[in-house]
Structure 1
Amino acid sequence: MELYELDVTQNDTIEEVISTLILKHKKIDVLINNAGAGFSKTLEQASFDEIQWVTEVNYLGVVRTTKAMLPYMRKAKQGRIINISSVGGLVGQPFNELYCAAKFAVEGFTEALATYISDPFNIHLTTVQPGGISTEFMNNAISKTVTEKGEFATGEYAAIFQKYLEGVQTRSANSENSPYQTGKEVAQIILDIANTEQPPLRVRTSAWAEDFTKLKTAADPDGRLILESVKKDIL
Protein backbone atom coordinates (compact mmCIF):
# COMPACT_ATOMS: atom_id res chain seq x y z
CA MET A 1 0.00 0.00 0.00
CA GLU A 2 1.23 3.46 -0.90
CA LEU A 3 0.05 6.52 1.02
CA TYR A 4 0.44 10.09 -0.15
CA GLU A 5 -0.62 13.13 1.85
CA LEU A 6 -2.64 15.92 0.28
CA ASP A 7 -5.03 18.67 1.32
CA VAL A 8 -8.24 18.89 -0.74
CA THR A 9 -8.38 22.64 -0.06
CA GLN A 10 -4.94 23.19 -1.66
CA ASN A 11 -4.57 22.80 -5.42
CA ASP A 12 -0.80 22.36 -5.37
CA THR A 13 -0.91 19.32 -3.08
CA ILE A 14 -3.58 17.67 -5.24
CA GLU A 15 -1.65 18.24 -8.46
CA GLU A 16 1.60 17.04 -6.89
CA VAL A 17 0.12 13.72 -5.77
CA ILE A 18 -1.69 13.10 -9.06
CA SER A 19 1.46 13.89 -11.05
CA THR A 20 3.45 11.48 -8.89
CA LEU A 21 0.94 8.68 -9.42
CA ILE A 22 0.66 9.27 -13.16
CA LEU A 23 4.44 9.26 -13.51
CA LYS A 24 4.66 5.97 -11.64
CA HIS A 25 1.57 4.12 -12.89
CA LYS A 26 0.82 5.94 -16.19
CA LYS A 27 -2.89 6.21 -15.38
CA ILE A 28 -5.40 6.37 -12.53
CA ASP A 29 -8.53 4.24 -12.91
CA VAL A 30 -10.60 5.35 -9.92
CA LEU A 31 -10.94 8.59 -7.99
CA ILE A 32 -12.84 8.36 -4.71
CA ASN A 33 -13.62 11.73 -3.18
CA ASN A 34 -14.01 10.71 0.45
CA ALA A 35 -12.73 13.78 2.30
CA GLY A 36 -15.51 15.43 4.26
CA ALA A 37 -16.44 16.96 7.58
CA GLY A 38 -19.73 17.20 9.41
CA PHE A 39 -21.00 20.46 10.79
CA SER A 40 -24.06 21.06 12.99
CA LYS A 41 -24.61 24.68 13.82
CA THR A 42 -27.29 27.28 13.16
CA LEU A 43 -26.67 29.67 10.29
CA GLU A 44 -26.79 32.61 12.71
CA GLN A 45 -24.25 30.97 14.99
CA ALA A 46 -21.79 30.02 12.23
CA SER A 47 -19.02 32.42 11.32
CA PHE A 48 -18.18 33.16 7.70
CA ASP A 49 -14.85 31.42 8.18
CA GLU A 50 -16.74 28.28 9.24
CA ILE A 51 -19.11 28.57 6.28
CA GLN A 52 -16.13 28.82 3.95
CA TRP A 53 -14.45 25.84 5.61
CA VAL A 54 -17.53 23.58 5.32
CA THR A 55 -17.86 24.47 1.66
CA GLU A 56 -14.15 24.04 0.92
CA VAL A 57 -13.86 20.59 2.47
CA ASN A 58 -17.19 19.07 1.45
CA TYR A 59 -17.75 20.58 -2.00
CA LEU A 60 -14.84 22.51 -3.48
CA GLY A 61 -12.45 19.70 -2.53
CA VAL A 62 -14.47 17.41 -4.81
CA VAL A 63 -14.32 19.99 -7.60
CA ARG A 64 -10.57 20.45 -7.22
CA THR A 65 -9.62 16.77 -7.29
CA THR A 66 -12.03 16.02 -10.15
CA LYS A 67 -10.73 18.95 -12.21
CA ALA A 68 -7.16 17.79 -11.68
CA MET A 69 -7.97 14.17 -12.57
CA LEU A 70 -10.22 14.63 -15.62
CA PRO A 71 -7.53 15.35 -18.25
CA TYR A 72 -5.82 12.03 -17.51
CA MET A 73 -9.02 9.99 -17.48
CA ARG A 74 -10.24 11.71 -20.64
CA LYS A 75 -6.98 10.92 -22.41
CA ALA A 76 -7.19 7.28 -21.29
CA LYS A 77 -10.88 7.13 -22.30
CA GLN A 78 -11.78 5.44 -19.04
CA GLY A 79 -12.30 6.14 -15.35
CA ARG A 80 -14.53 6.02 -12.32
CA ILE A 81 -15.20 9.05 -10.14
CA ILE A 82 -17.02 8.14 -6.94
CA ASN A 83 -18.08 11.04 -4.74
CA ILE A 84 -19.04 10.24 -1.17
CA SER A 85 -22.12 12.33 -0.57
CA SER A 86 -24.77 11.72 2.08
CA VAL A 87 -28.50 11.40 2.57
CA GLY A 88 -27.92 15.05 3.50
CA GLY A 89 -27.24 15.64 -0.20
CA LEU A 90 -30.87 14.78 -0.92
CA VAL A 91 -32.78 15.75 2.21
CA GLY A 92 -32.19 18.92 4.20
CA GLN A 93 -31.93 18.37 7.96
CA PRO A 94 -32.12 20.67 10.99
CA PHE A 95 -28.89 22.34 12.09
CA ASN A 96 -27.15 20.84 9.06
CA GLU A 97 -28.04 23.49 6.49
CA LEU A 98 -24.42 24.36 5.68
CA TYR A 99 -23.32 20.74 5.45
CA CYS A 100 -26.41 19.79 3.43
CA ALA A 101 -25.86 22.72 1.08
CA ALA A 102 -22.34 21.48 0.33
CA LYS A 103 -23.56 17.93 -0.25
CA PHE A 104 -26.46 19.14 -2.42
CA ALA A 105 -23.77 20.92 -4.46
CA VAL A 106 -21.82 17.66 -4.81
CA GLU A 107 -24.97 15.98 -6.10
CA GLY A 108 -25.65 18.69 -8.68
CA PHE A 109 -22.01 18.85 -9.75
CA THR A 110 -21.84 15.09 -10.26
CA GLU A 111 -25.15 14.86 -12.10
CA ALA A 112 -24.36 17.73 -14.46
CA LEU A 113 -20.85 16.48 -15.23
CA ALA A 114 -22.12 12.96 -15.92
CA THR A 115 -24.47 14.21 -18.66
CA TYR A 116 -21.58 14.89 -21.06
CA ILE A 117 -18.56 13.05 -19.64
CA SER A 118 -19.79 9.47 -19.33
CA ASP A 119 -20.71 8.48 -22.89
CA PRO A 120 -17.95 9.99 -25.07
CA PHE A 121 -15.08 9.42 -22.64
CA ASN A 122 -16.19 6.31 -20.71
CA ILE A 123 -15.81 8.16 -17.42
CA HIS A 124 -18.57 7.14 -15.03
CA LEU A 125 -19.60 9.21 -12.01
CA THR A 126 -21.47 8.06 -8.93
CA THR A 127 -22.50 9.66 -5.67
CA VAL A 128 -22.68 7.38 -2.63
CA GLN A 129 -25.24 8.38 -0.01
CA PRO A 130 -24.75 6.82 3.44
CA GLY A 131 -27.10 7.56 6.29
CA GLY A 132 -24.23 7.63 8.74
CA ILE A 133 -20.97 5.82 9.37
CA SER A 134 -19.79 4.55 12.75
CA THR A 135 -16.64 6.62 12.96
CA GLU A 136 -15.75 9.83 14.79
CA PHE A 137 -17.49 11.81 12.03
CA MET A 138 -20.64 12.64 14.02
CA ASN A 139 -18.75 13.32 17.25
CA ASN A 140 -16.49 15.72 15.38
CA ALA A 141 -19.51 17.41 13.82
CA ILE A 142 -21.17 17.87 17.20
CA SER A 143 -17.95 19.14 18.77
CA LYS A 144 -17.83 21.96 16.21
CA THR A 145 -21.22 23.08 17.48
CA VAL A 146 -19.88 24.01 20.90
CA THR A 147 -19.23 27.74 21.31
CA GLU A 148 -16.18 29.21 23.01
CA LYS A 149 -18.28 29.34 26.18
CA GLY A 150 -18.94 25.59 26.02
CA GLU A 151 -22.54 26.05 24.89
CA PHE A 152 -24.42 24.46 22.00
CA ALA A 153 -27.11 26.42 20.17
CA THR A 154 -28.11 29.40 22.29
CA GLY A 155 -31.13 31.64 22.73
CA GLU A 156 -34.33 30.65 20.98
CA TYR A 157 -32.59 27.79 19.16
CA ALA A 158 -31.39 26.05 22.33
CA ALA A 159 -34.50 23.95 23.03
CA ILE A 160 -34.82 22.90 19.39
CA PHE A 161 -31.17 21.89 19.24
CA GLN A 162 -31.47 19.90 22.47
CA LYS A 163 -34.34 17.92 20.94
CA TYR A 164 -32.24 17.34 17.82
CA LEU A 165 -29.24 16.17 19.87
CA GLU A 166 -31.40 13.76 21.88
CA GLY A 167 -32.70 12.29 18.63
CA VAL A 168 -29.15 11.76 17.34
CA GLN A 169 -28.20 9.98 20.56
CA THR A 170 -31.35 7.83 20.53
CA ARG A 171 -30.83 6.72 16.94
CA SER A 172 -27.19 5.93 17.67
CA ALA A 173 -28.18 3.68 20.54
CA ASN A 174 -30.99 1.89 18.66
CA SER A 175 -29.24 -0.93 16.82
CA GLU A 176 -32.45 -2.16 15.16
CA ASN A 177 -33.24 1.16 13.48
CA SER A 178 -29.88 2.86 13.38
CA PRO A 179 -28.80 4.98 10.41
CA TYR A 180 -25.19 4.04 11.09
CA GLN A 181 -23.08 1.49 9.24
CA THR A 182 -19.48 0.46 9.67
CA GLY A 183 -16.84 1.96 7.44
CA LYS A 184 -16.13 -1.54 6.11
CA GLU A 185 -19.75 -1.98 4.99
CA VAL A 186 -19.74 1.28 3.05
CA ALA A 187 -16.27 0.56 1.63
CA GLN A 188 -17.54 -2.72 0.16
CA ILE A 189 -20.33 -0.86 -1.65
CA ILE A 190 -17.79 1.62 -3.04
CA LEU A 191 -15.60 -1.27 -4.23
CA ASP A 192 -18.57 -2.88 -5.96
CA ILE A 193 -19.33 0.40 -7.77
CA ALA A 194 -15.73 0.72 -8.90
CA ASN A 195 -15.92 -2.76 -10.42
CA THR A 196 -19.32 -2.31 -12.10
CA GLU A 197 -19.25 -1.88 -15.87
CA GLN A 198 -22.17 0.58 -15.92
CA PRO A 199 -22.37 2.08 -12.43
CA PRO A 200 -25.43 4.05 -11.31
CA LEU A 201 -25.43 7.78 -10.80
CA ARG A 202 -26.62 7.46 -7.19
CA VAL A 203 -26.45 4.73 -4.55
CA ARG A 204 -27.80 4.64 -1.02
CA THR A 205 -25.88 2.32 1.25
CA SER A 206 -28.53 0.96 3.61
CA ALA A 207 -32.24 0.25 4.02
CA TRP A 208 -32.40 3.17 6.45
CA ALA A 209 -30.94 5.55 3.87
CA GLU A 210 -33.36 4.26 1.22
CA ASP A 211 -36.34 4.84 3.49
CA PHE A 212 -35.15 8.28 4.61
CA THR A 213 -34.77 9.55 1.05
CA LYS A 214 -37.64 7.70 -0.64
CA LEU A 215 -39.72 10.83 -1.33
CA LYS A 216 -36.80 12.17 -3.36
CA THR A 217 -35.69 8.94 -5.04
CA ALA A 218 -38.80 6.80 -5.64
CA ALA A 219 -39.26 7.86 -9.28
CA ASP A 220 -35.60 7.36 -10.21
CA PRO A 221 -33.72 5.40 -7.54
CA ASP A 222 -30.32 5.16 -9.23
CA GLY A 223 -30.40 8.39 -11.26
CA ARG A 224 -30.15 6.74 -14.65
CA LEU A 225 -33.54 8.06 -15.84
CA ILE A 226 -32.73 11.70 -15.16
CA LEU A 227 -29.40 11.40 -16.98
CA GLU A 228 -31.02 9.95 -20.08
CA SER A 229 -33.81 12.54 -19.96
CA VAL A 230 -31.41 15.47 -19.74
CA LYS A 231 -29.19 14.14 -22.53
CA LYS A 232 -32.25 13.62 -24.75
CA ASP A 233 -33.69 17.09 -24.08
CA ILE A 234 -30.49 19.15 -24.12
CA LEU A 235 -27.65 17.36 -25.93
Structure 2
Amino acid sequence: MDPNTTTKPTYTLPKDAVFLITGCSSGLGLALSRLIANHPTHRLVATARDQAKLESLLLGNTTKTNDRILILSLDVTSTNSITTALATILTHPGFGRMDVLINNAGHGLMGDTETSLPYHPSVPHSSDAEHAKARAVVEVDFWGAAAMTLHAVRVMREDNARNGGGPQGGLVLQVTSMGGFMGFAGNAYYHAAKFGLEGFTESLSREVRPEWNIHFTIAEPGGIDTNYATSSMSLLANHPAYDAPDSPARVLAAYIDNPEFRRSWSRPENMAKAIYEVVSRGQPIPMRFPLGTVSWQTLRAEADNIVKEFDDMRHLSVSVDSVEQAEHVERVKEFASK
Protein backbone atom coordinates (compact mmCIF):
# COMPACT_ATOMS: atom_id res chain seq x y z
CA MET A 1 0.00 0.00 0.00
CA ASP A 2 1.30 3.44 -0.93
CA PRO A 3 0.65 5.79 2.04
CA ASN A 4 0.70 8.74 -0.34
CA THR A 5 -2.40 7.44 -2.13
CA THR A 6 -4.38 6.21 0.87
CA THR A 7 -8.04 7.21 0.53
CA LYS A 8 -9.89 8.07 3.70
CA PRO A 9 -13.44 6.78 4.06
CA THR A 10 -16.24 9.31 4.04
CA TYR A 11 -18.23 10.12 7.15
CA THR A 12 -22.00 10.35 6.90
CA LEU A 13 -23.68 12.24 9.72
CA PRO A 14 -26.96 10.58 10.77
CA LYS A 15 -30.01 12.76 10.25
CA ASP A 16 -30.94 12.43 13.93
CA ALA A 17 -27.35 12.59 15.20
CA VAL A 18 -26.64 13.05 18.91
CA PHE A 19 -23.99 15.71 19.54
CA LEU A 20 -22.18 15.86 22.88
CA ILE A 21 -20.38 19.19 23.30
CA THR A 22 -18.22 20.17 26.27
CA GLY A 23 -17.57 23.70 27.48
CA CYS A 24 -20.88 25.14 26.25
CA SER A 25 -21.38 28.10 28.59
CA SER A 26 -19.59 30.67 26.42
CA GLY A 27 -17.82 31.37 23.15
CA LEU A 28 -17.47 28.66 20.54
CA GLY A 29 -19.12 25.99 22.69
CA LEU A 30 -22.22 28.12 23.15
CA ALA A 31 -22.32 28.97 19.44
CA LEU A 32 -22.06 25.30 18.50
CA SER A 33 -24.77 24.38 21.00
CA ARG A 34 -27.16 26.97 19.62
CA LEU A 35 -26.46 25.85 16.06
CA ILE A 36 -27.22 22.20 16.84
CA ALA A 37 -30.20 23.10 19.04
CA ASN A 38 -31.77 24.96 16.12
CA HIS A 39 -31.38 22.04 13.73
CA PRO A 40 -34.76 20.35 13.20
CA THR A 41 -33.63 16.74 13.66
CA HIS A 42 -30.31 16.66 15.52
CA ARG A 43 -30.17 16.01 19.26
CA LEU A 44 -27.91 18.02 21.55
CA VAL A 45 -26.21 17.15 24.82
CA ALA A 46 -24.80 20.47 26.01
CA THR A 47 -22.50 20.38 29.02
CA ALA A 48 -20.69 22.75 31.34
CA ARG A 49 -19.68 22.82 34.97
CA ASP A 50 -22.50 25.28 35.74
CA GLN A 51 -25.67 23.56 34.55
CA ALA A 52 -28.03 26.32 35.70
CA LYS A 53 -26.10 28.99 33.80
CA LEU A 54 -26.10 26.86 30.66
CA GLU A 55 -29.84 26.22 30.92
CA SER A 56 -30.42 29.97 31.11
CA LEU A 57 -28.19 30.63 28.09
CA LEU A 58 -29.74 27.94 25.90
CA LEU A 59 -33.35 27.93 27.04
CA GLY A 60 -33.81 31.46 28.41
CA ASN A 61 -36.76 32.02 30.70
CA THR A 62 -39.08 29.64 28.87
CA THR A 63 -40.57 26.73 30.78
CA LYS A 64 -41.20 24.84 27.54
CA THR A 65 -39.21 21.64 27.32
CA ASN A 66 -37.35 20.48 24.23
CA ASP A 67 -36.98 16.73 23.97
CA ARG A 68 -34.04 17.12 21.58
CA ILE A 69 -31.92 19.08 24.08
CA LEU A 70 -30.30 17.57 27.16
CA ILE A 71 -28.30 19.91 29.41
CA LEU A 72 -25.94 18.30 31.89
CA SER A 73 -23.34 19.31 34.43
CA LEU A 74 -19.93 17.95 33.44
CA ASP A 75 -16.43 18.30 34.84
CA VAL A 76 -14.10 16.70 32.29
CA THR A 77 -11.41 16.21 34.96
CA SER A 78 -13.69 13.97 37.06
CA THR A 79 -14.24 10.32 36.13
CA ASN A 80 -17.40 10.22 38.26
CA SER A 81 -18.79 13.27 36.48
CA ILE A 82 -18.02 11.82 33.05
CA THR A 83 -19.50 8.38 33.74
CA THR A 84 -22.61 9.89 35.34
CA ALA A 85 -23.20 12.11 32.31
CA LEU A 86 -22.71 9.21 29.89
CA ALA A 87 -25.08 6.99 31.85
CA THR A 88 -27.71 9.73 31.63
CA ILE A 89 -27.22 10.12 27.88
CA LEU A 90 -27.43 6.39 27.18
CA THR A 91 -30.61 5.92 29.20
CA HIS A 92 -32.40 9.19 28.40
CA PRO A 93 -35.46 8.80 26.14
CA GLY A 94 -34.69 9.85 22.58
CA PHE A 95 -30.92 9.73 23.03
CA GLY A 96 -29.17 6.43 23.85
CA ARG A 97 -26.13 7.04 21.66
CA MET A 98 -23.36 9.52 20.81
CA ASP A 99 -22.65 10.30 17.17
CA VAL A 100 -20.40 13.34 17.55
CA LEU A 101 -18.22 14.36 20.48
CA ILE A 102 -16.88 17.91 20.33
CA ASN A 103 -14.18 18.40 22.96
CA ASN A 104 -14.35 22.16 23.39
CA ALA A 105 -13.84 22.62 27.15
CA GLY A 106 -10.54 24.33 27.75
CA HIS A 107 -8.56 26.79 29.79
CA GLY A 108 -5.66 29.09 28.97
CA LEU A 109 -2.55 30.00 30.92
CA MET A 110 -0.20 32.86 30.04
CA GLY A 111 2.83 34.31 31.73
CA ASP A 112 6.44 33.71 32.58
CA THR A 113 6.92 29.95 32.46
CA GLU A 114 9.96 30.04 34.73
CA THR A 115 7.79 30.97 37.73
CA SER A 116 5.90 27.65 37.45
CA LEU A 117 8.57 25.51 39.09
CA PRO A 118 7.35 24.00 42.38
CA TYR A 119 8.69 25.83 45.39
CA HIS A 120 12.19 25.08 46.57
CA PRO A 121 14.20 27.46 48.77
CA SER A 122 17.18 27.23 46.42
CA VAL A 123 15.15 28.21 43.31
CA PRO A 124 14.29 31.92 43.04
CA HIS A 125 10.70 32.74 42.08
CA SER A 126 9.56 29.12 42.36
CA SER A 127 6.02 28.69 43.66
CA ASP A 128 3.69 25.82 44.48
CA ALA A 129 0.71 28.02 43.63
CA GLU A 130 2.04 28.82 40.15
CA HIS A 131 2.97 25.17 39.62
CA ALA A 132 -0.62 24.21 40.45
CA LYS A 133 -1.88 26.57 37.72
CA ALA A 134 0.36 24.84 35.19
CA ARG A 135 -0.86 21.39 36.17
CA ALA A 136 -4.49 22.53 36.13
CA VAL A 137 -4.42 23.70 32.50
CA VAL A 138 -2.89 20.40 31.35
CA GLU A 139 -5.45 18.50 33.46
CA VAL A 140 -8.35 20.15 31.63
CA ASP A 141 -6.95 20.71 28.14
CA PHE A 142 -5.20 17.36 27.74
CA TRP A 143 -6.28 14.79 30.32
CA GLY A 144 -9.92 15.88 30.34
CA ALA A 145 -10.21 15.79 26.56
CA ALA A 146 -8.32 12.49 26.39
CA ALA A 147 -10.68 10.90 28.91
CA MET A 148 -13.76 12.14 27.06
CA THR A 149 -12.33 10.78 23.81
CA LEU A 150 -11.72 7.29 25.18
CA HIS A 151 -15.19 7.11 26.71
CA ALA A 152 -16.63 8.24 23.37
CA VAL A 153 -14.75 5.54 21.46
CA ARG A 154 -16.25 2.89 23.72
CA VAL A 155 -19.78 4.28 23.32
CA MET A 156 -19.44 4.65 19.55
CA ARG A 157 -18.12 1.11 19.19
CA GLU A 158 -20.34 -0.75 21.66
CA ASP A 159 -23.47 1.27 22.45
CA ASN A 160 -24.44 3.17 19.32
CA ALA A 161 -25.76 0.29 17.25
CA ARG A 162 -27.06 -1.61 20.28
CA ASN A 163 -28.93 1.18 22.08
CA GLY A 164 -29.37 4.02 19.65
CA GLY A 165 -31.00 2.37 16.70
CA GLY A 166 -28.34 3.64 14.31
CA PRO A 167 -24.96 2.70 12.89
CA GLN A 168 -21.84 1.81 14.81
CA GLY A 169 -19.23 4.56 14.87
CA GLY A 170 -19.12 8.31 15.09
CA LEU A 171 -16.84 11.33 15.02
CA VAL A 172 -14.57 12.87 17.66
CA LEU A 173 -13.69 16.50 17.04
CA GLN A 174 -10.99 18.13 19.15
CA VAL A 175 -10.96 21.91 19.41
CA THR A 176 -7.31 22.81 19.94
CA SER A 177 -6.21 26.08 18.32
CA MET A 178 -3.30 27.42 16.33
CA GLY A 179 -1.53 26.59 19.58
CA GLY A 180 -1.90 22.89 18.89
CA PHE A 181 0.42 23.19 15.90
CA MET A 182 2.85 25.97 16.82
CA GLY A 183 4.00 27.73 19.97
CA PHE A 184 3.79 31.36 21.07
CA ALA A 185 5.71 33.03 23.87
CA GLY A 186 4.33 32.75 27.39
CA ASN A 187 1.95 29.86 26.70
CA ALA A 188 4.19 26.85 27.26
CA TYR A 189 1.77 24.69 29.28
CA TYR A 190 -1.22 25.53 27.10
CA HIS A 191 0.81 24.47 24.06
CA ALA A 192 2.06 21.35 25.84
CA ALA A 193 -1.56 20.31 26.43
CA LYS A 194 -2.76 21.14 22.91
CA PHE A 195 0.27 19.62 21.17
CA GLY A 196 -0.24 16.56 23.35
CA LEU A 197 -3.93 16.32 22.45
CA GLU A 198 -3.15 16.52 18.75
CA GLY A 199 -0.54 13.76 19.04
CA PHE A 200 -2.88 11.66 21.17
CA THR A 201 -5.63 12.05 18.57
CA GLU A 202 -3.40 11.16 15.62
CA SER A 203 -2.16 8.05 17.39
CA LEU A 204 -5.61 6.91 18.51
CA SER A 205 -7.05 7.47 15.03
CA ARG A 206 -4.55 4.89 13.76
CA GLU A 207 -5.22 2.52 16.65
CA VAL A 208 -8.98 2.04 16.27
CA ARG A 209 -10.09 -0.60 13.79
CA PRO A 210 -11.51 0.73 10.48
CA GLU A 211 -14.68 -1.36 10.75
CA TRP A 212 -15.65 0.55 13.90
CA ASN A 213 -16.33 3.56 11.66
CA ILE A 214 -14.92 6.04 14.20
CA HIS A 215 -13.44 9.21 12.73
CA PHE A 216 -11.25 11.89 14.28
CA THR A 217 -10.49 15.49 13.41
CA ILE A 218 -8.84 18.53 14.98
CA ALA A 219 -10.13 22.10 14.58
CA GLU A 220 -7.42 24.74 14.98
CA PRO A 221 -9.09 28.15 15.40
CA GLY A 222 -7.20 31.41 15.37
CA GLY A 223 -8.44 34.34 17.43
CA ILE A 224 -12.12 34.08 18.38
CA ASP A 225 -14.05 37.14 19.52
CA THR A 226 -15.10 35.69 22.88
CA ASN A 227 -14.31 36.22 26.55
CA TYR A 228 -11.69 33.44 26.41
CA ALA A 229 -8.82 35.92 26.71
CA THR A 230 -10.25 37.20 29.99
CA SER A 231 -12.58 34.82 31.84
CA SER A 232 -11.01 31.58 30.57
CA MET A 233 -7.41 32.65 30.99
CA SER A 234 -5.22 32.31 34.07
CA LEU A 235 -1.97 34.20 34.51
CA LEU A 236 1.37 33.05 35.82
CA ALA A 237 3.31 35.39 38.09
CA ASN A 238 5.85 37.74 36.56
CA HIS A 239 9.54 36.89 36.63
CA PRO A 240 11.94 39.86 36.75
CA ALA A 241 14.14 38.42 34.00
CA TYR A 242 11.23 38.84 31.54
CA ASP A 243 9.90 42.21 32.70
CA ALA A 244 11.08 44.32 29.75
CA PRO A 245 8.14 45.64 27.70
CA ASP A 246 9.68 44.22 24.53
CA SER A 247 9.89 40.69 25.93
CA PRO A 248 8.00 38.41 23.50
CA ALA A 249 5.44 37.29 26.09
CA ARG A 250 4.73 40.90 27.12
CA VAL A 251 4.23 41.96 23.49
CA LEU A 252 1.81 39.09 22.86
CA ALA A 253 -0.10 39.79 26.09
CA ALA A 254 -0.52 43.44 25.10
CA TYR A 255 -1.93 42.38 21.74
CA ILE A 256 -4.42 39.98 23.32
CA ASP A 257 -5.47 42.57 25.92
CA ASN A 258 -6.23 45.19 23.26
CA PRO A 259 -10.00 45.23 22.61
CA GLU A 260 -9.47 46.82 19.20
CA PHE A 261 -7.48 43.80 18.06
CA ARG A 262 -9.94 41.35 19.62
CA ARG A 263 -12.82 42.88 17.68
CA SER A 264 -11.10 41.84 14.44
CA TRP A 265 -11.04 38.18 15.49
CA SER A 266 -13.47 35.66 14.02
CA ARG A 267 -17.02 35.45 15.32
CA PRO A 268 -17.78 32.19 17.17
CA GLU A 269 -20.98 31.75 15.15
CA ASN A 270 -18.96 31.66 11.92
CA MET A 271 -16.52 29.18 13.44
CA ALA A 272 -19.43 26.98 14.52
CA LYS A 273 -20.90 26.96 11.01
CA ALA A 274 -17.54 25.97 9.52
CA ILE A 275 -17.12 23.13 12.01
CA TYR A 276 -20.62 21.85 11.26
CA GLU A 277 -19.82 21.98 7.54
CA VAL A 278 -16.82 19.68 8.04
CA VAL A 279 -18.90 17.28 10.14
CA SER A 280 -21.98 17.17 7.92
CA ARG A 281 -20.80 17.45 4.30
CA GLY A 282 -20.49 13.70 3.72
CA GLN A 283 -16.83 13.77 2.71
CA PRO A 284 -13.63 12.29 4.17
CA ILE A 285 -12.77 13.91 7.49
CA PRO A 286 -9.42 15.76 7.56
CA MET A 287 -6.98 15.03 10.37
CA ARG A 288 -6.84 18.75 11.14
CA PHE A 289 -8.10 22.00 9.71
CA PRO A 290 -7.27 25.63 10.55
CA LEU A 291 -10.17 27.99 11.19
CA GLY A 292 -9.89 31.64 10.23
CA THR A 293 -7.59 33.56 7.91
CA VAL A 294 -5.05 34.22 10.65
CA SER A 295 -4.88 30.54 11.54
CA TRP A 296 -4.69 29.30 7.95
CA GLN A 297 -2.02 31.74 6.83
CA THR A 298 0.06 31.48 10.01
CA LEU A 299 -0.03 27.69 10.16
CA ARG A 300 0.67 27.40 6.43
CA ALA A 301 3.74 29.63 6.88
CA GLU A 302 4.82 27.52 9.85
CA ALA A 303 4.42 24.33 7.80
CA ASP A 304 6.51 25.86 5.01
CA ASN A 305 9.20 26.76 7.56
CA ILE A 306 9.21 23.20 8.88
CA VAL A 307 9.62 21.79 5.36
CA LYS A 308 12.48 24.21 4.70
CA GLU A 309 14.24 23.20 7.92
CA PHE A 310 13.78 19.53 7.04
CA ASP A 311 15.24 20.12 3.59
CA ASP A 312 18.14 22.13 5.01
CA MET A 313 18.97 19.30 7.41
CA ARG A 314 18.43 16.43 4.98
CA HIS A 315 22.10 15.66 4.35
CA LEU A 316 22.87 15.40 8.05
CA SER A 317 19.65 13.54 8.81
CA VAL A 318 20.17 10.73 6.31
CA SER A 319 23.89 10.46 7.07
CA VAL A 320 23.16 8.45 10.23
CA ASP A 321 21.30 5.68 8.36
CA SER A 322 22.41 2.19 7.61
CA VAL A 323 21.19 0.41 4.49
CA GLU A 324 18.91 -1.71 6.68
CA GLN A 325 17.20 1.39 8.11
CA ALA A 326 16.63 2.89 4.69
CA GLU A 327 14.83 -0.26 3.57
CA HIS A 328 12.18 0.28 6.25
CA VAL A 329 11.17 3.81 5.20
CA GLU A 330 8.08 2.78 3.26
CA ARG A 331 6.98 0.45 6.04
CA VAL A 332 7.21 3.19 8.65
CA LYS A 333 5.38 5.62 6.35
CA GLU A 334 2.63 3.02 6.07
CA PHE A 335 2.30 2.88 9.86
CA ALA A 336 1.91 6.68 9.82
CA SER A 337 -0.96 6.57 7.34
CA LYS A 338 -4.53 5.47 7.68
Q: Give the TM-score range, shorter chain.
A: 0.7 to 0.9
Aligned to 1:182: 267
2:176–2:218 Cα contact (<8 Å) kept: yes
Which 4+ runs in 1 deviate beyond 3 A? 215-219
Higher helix share: 1
1:23 aligned residue:
91
Say which structure is richer in strand. 2
RMSD (CA atoms): 2.5
Structure 1 residue 133 corresponds to structure 2 residue 224:
yes
Aligned position for 2:308: none
CA distance in 1 between partners of 2:91 and 2:262 (Å): 46
Q: Which residue of 1 aligns with 2:291?
A: 205
- Opposite residue 26 of structure 1, the aligned amino acid is G
Amino acid at match of 1:145: L
Q: Percent identity?
A: 27
Is 1:43 the counterpart of 2:129 in the alignment? no
* Structure 1 gap segments, 5+ residues each: 148-152, 220-228
Report the CA distance between 1:173 and its aligned residue.
Answer: 2.1
Partners of 1:191 and 1:94 in 2: CA distance: 31
**Which runs of 5 or more residues in structure 2 are unaligned?**
1-68, 117-129, 162-167, 306-330
The one-letter code matched in structure 2 to 1:163 is V
- 1:114 shift after superposition: 1.0
C-alpha separation in 2, matches of 1:112 and 1:121? 16
Measure the CA separation in 1 of the matches of 2:208 and 2:302: 24
The aligned amino acid for 2:82 is: I
From 165, 189, 204, give the equivalent of 2:253: 165
TM-score (norm 2): 0.59
Note if 1:196 corresponds to 2:281. Answer: yes
User: What is the CA distance between 1:232 and its match in structure 2?
Assistant: 2.0
C-alpha deviation, 1:119, in angstroms: 2.3
Which one-letter code corresponds to 2:251 in the other structure? K
Separation (CA, whole Å) in 2 of partners of 1:12 and 1:205: 33
Q: Distance in 2 between matches of 1:118 and 1:83?
A: 20
| Counterpart residue number, 1:58 | 141
> Number of residue pairs matched?
218
2:74 match: secondary structure = coil
Task: Kindly state the Cα deviation for residue 193 of structure 1 after the two structures are TM-superposed.
Answer: 2.2
Task: State the Cα deviation string for residues 155-188 of structure 1 (Å, max 9, x = none).
Answer: 1211114323233345x52489x4x211111111
How big is each residue's C-alpha offset from its partner over 1:76-127, in whole Å with a ceiling of 9 and x where there is no partner? 4210100100100111110001101100001101111111326231111011
